[in-house]
C-alpha cells in the first residue's frame, strides 16, 4: 500500500490567504483578538457584533463590520448574505459570542435559564447551520471553531445554566464534526479559562495577578493573543486532520483538576488547607 500524498509542511501552512472568516462577537475581548489574528494570517474577516459601536472593528481590519444579534435567525441570514456579497463565501466561522450572569440555581427562573442557553448554545447551532449550508452549497469545505469554556468540564456554582450551555457546545462540536466531515468541514472548540480581557480586568481587583499565580499552573492569566493563536491554528491547514476536538487554552487549570499552589508554602494542594 502506497503512503497517501501529503503536501510538504512549511510556514505557509498557517497562512489563510484568500479565505473569508466570520467572527461573532468580534468587537471586543477574545473575539476582537481572534478577528485581528485571522486578518494577520491573511483572511478577510467579517465581524458580526451586536454592539453597533464595536462592529466597526471589522472595517478597521479591512473587512466588514456588521451589526447583528446572532440569536435572531433573520439577522444572521441578513449578515451572511451581506458577508457573501462583500467578501465571498466564508470558509472559516468562529462562534465567539456569548454571555452570562450569576443566578444561584434555586433562585433561577425559566426566563433567566432560557436567556443563558439562547445566548450561548442556541446561537452557536444557528450560526453553524447557516454558515455550514453556505459552505456546502459553494462546495468549499471549511473550519468552524466554537468558543466554549473550562466551565464545560467543571462545576460552576451560581452559573449552572451557563456551564450546561458550554458543555452543550463541547458536545455539539463533536456531533457536528462527524456530520459535516463528509463535506470537508472541520469543527473544533477552544476552551479558555482566566483570560485577561478588558471585562475580566475591570472586575478582578488589584490582587488578581497574585490569586491567578496560585490558581494557574503556568502562574498567570492567559492573553487574548494566546487564545486567538489556537483559533488561527485550527482554522489553518496545519490542523487539516483535526476535527471534533476541544483544546483547553488555560495554562493547565483543566489538567490540575482543582490542585493549586498554596500561597504560603508553594506546595500543590487540593482544596483549602
Q: What are the catalytic residues?
A: 162
Give helix 160-180 / helix 110-117 axis angle, nearest 10°.
Answer: 40
Coil/strand/helix, residue 171: helix
Coil/strand/helix, residue 61: coil
C-alpha cell at 182: 463528509
Q: Which residues of 233-252 are buried (b: 16+ CB within 10 A; e: fewer)?
A: bbbbeebeeebbbbbbbbbe
If DSSP states are collapsed to H, E and C, what string results for 181-195?
HHHCEEEEEEEECCE
Q: Which of 126, 100, 127, 120 is nearest to 23 (CA)?
A: 127
Q: Which residue has the cell 482543582?
A: 258
Centroid of chain to Cα 107: 29
Amino acid at each position: 500500500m502506497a503512503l497517501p500524498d501529503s503536501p510538504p509542511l512549511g510556514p505557509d501552512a498557517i497562512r489563510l490567504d484568500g479565505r473569508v472568516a466570520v467572527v461573532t462577537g468580534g468587537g471586543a475581548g477574545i473575539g476582537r483578538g481572534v478577528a485581528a489574528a485571522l486578518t494577520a494570517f491573511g483572511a478577510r474577516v467579517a465581524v458580526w457584533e451586536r454592539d453597533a459601536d464595536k462592529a466597526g472593528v471589522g472595517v478597521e481590519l479591512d473587512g466588514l463590520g456588521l451589526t447583528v444579534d446572532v440569536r435572531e435567525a433573520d439577522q444572521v441570514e441578513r449578515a451572511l448574505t451581506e458577508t457573501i456579497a462583500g467578501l465571498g463565501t466564508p470558509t472559516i466561522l468562529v462562534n465567539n459570542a456569548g454571555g452570562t450572569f450569576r443566578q444561584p440555581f434555586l433562585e433561577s427562573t425559566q426566563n433567566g435559564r432560557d436567556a443563558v442557553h439562547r445566548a450561548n448554545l442556541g446561537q452557536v447551532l444557528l450560526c453553524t447551520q447557516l454558515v455550514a449550508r453556505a459552505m456546502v452549497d459553494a462546495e468549499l469545505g471549511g473550519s468552524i471553531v466554537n468558543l466554549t469554556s473550562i466551565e464545560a468540564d467543571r462545576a460552576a456554582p451560581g452559573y449552572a445554566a451557563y456551564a450546561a450551555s458550554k458543555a452543550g457546545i463541547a458536545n455539539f462540536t463533536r456531533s457536528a464534526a462527524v456530520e459535516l466531515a463528509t463535506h470537508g468541514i472541520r469543527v473544533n472548540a477552544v476552551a479558555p479559562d482566566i483570560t485577561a480581557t478588558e471585562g475580566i480586568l475591570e472586575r478582578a481587583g488589584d490582587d488578581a495577578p497574585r490569586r491567578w499565580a496560585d490558581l494557574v499552573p503556568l502562574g498567570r492569566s492567559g492573553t487574548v493573543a494566546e487564545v486567538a493563536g489556537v483559533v488561527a491554528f485550527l482554522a489553518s491547514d496545519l490542523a487539516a486532520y483535526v476535527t471534533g476536538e476541544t483544546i483547553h487554552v488555560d495554562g493547565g487549570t483543566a489538567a490540575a483538576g482543582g490542585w493549586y499552589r498554596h500561597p504560603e508554602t508553594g506546595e500543590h494542594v487540593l482544596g483549602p488547607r
